[in-house]
Amino acid sequence: MKIEVYTLVLCIITVYRSPSGNFNRFLEIMDAVLQSVYSPSLDIIICGDININYLETNEQRKQLDNLLLLYNLVAIVDFPTRLTVTSATAIDNVFIDVSRFHDCVVSPFLNGLSDHDAQILTFRAWYPKQPIGNKTIRKVDQQKISDFLLHLSNESWSTVFNTVVVNLMLNSFLDTYLKIFDASFPLTKAINQNNGN
């Protein structure tokens, strides 16, 4: 669902993940959905029953977090959403871009309609409008993405794999990766047409 409020365009995606479903397929579908709706001017909120307990660290949580970080989305529910006699889990969650929504609060809501508590997301303030004038952007289109992937696949990564010290290996990887990224998606100046109305 897309909602427009003044200059804000908000896309709310609701999710249910079956605990017995194929988790890798879930990640593939989530990525495909996010790729199809993602735009720098669109704010995305994902919410729902994902059946991954965010009160503990586990492999599924790490994989989902890594995928959502590609879209700058992070989980914000840090309290139990399903309480039973023997357990308290946070298997329902809300994922937002906290860099764009600076001041928000998520809280439980006991509605008595389900064995899961609802969550209420309250925005106290929207992120500020961009100032009028020049800003620096990276243009991303299918051609630039293809160029980026081609350069990544052609890289030998020998400087990474020939290093035995983990920190040096990471630094070497990041250095090579970021050089390719910057070459494929160079920073350019853009004029912000926002007139403040």
Domain hosting 169: range is 133-192
How does pLDDT run across 43-86, given as a tens digit for each residue?
A: 899 999 999 999 999 999 999 999 999 898 999 888 888 877 78
Q: Is residue 197 a part of any domain in this protein?
A: no
Which of 125, 148, 178 corresponds to the end of one domain? Answer: 125
pLDDT band at 31 (very low <50, low <70, confident <90, very high): very high
H-type alpha helices, 19-165: 23-37, 59-69, 142-154, 158-161
Comparing CA positions, the residue from 28, 27, 31, 1 lying closest to residue 13 is 1
The residue with tokens 């605990």 is 19
More confidently predicted of 2 and 97: 97
Total domains in the chain come to 2
Structural contact between residues 52 and 77, judged by C-beta atoms closer than 8 angstroms: no
Helix (H/G/I), strand (E/B), else coil: 43: strand
**One domain for residues 93 and 17:** yes
Which of 66, 97, 125 corresponds to the end of one domain? Answer: 125
The residue with tokens 């389900």 is 114
Angle at 163 between CA 158 and CA 167, to 5 degrees: 120
**One domain for residues 96 and 170:** no
Asked whether the predicted pLDDT for residue 126 surpasses 80, the reply is no
Which of 125, 155, 179 corresponds to the end of one domain? Answer: 125
Q: Which two tokens stand for residue 108?
A: 């439980």
Segment 23-38 mean pLDDT: 94
pLDDT for 133 equals 58
How does pLDDT run across 131-188, given as a tens digit for each residue?
A: 555 677 888 888 989 999 999 999 998 888 888 888 788 888 888 888 888 889 888 8
- Note the maximum CA span of the chain: 59
Q: Is 195 exposed, middle or buried (0-12, 13-18, 19+ CB in 10 A)?
A: exposed
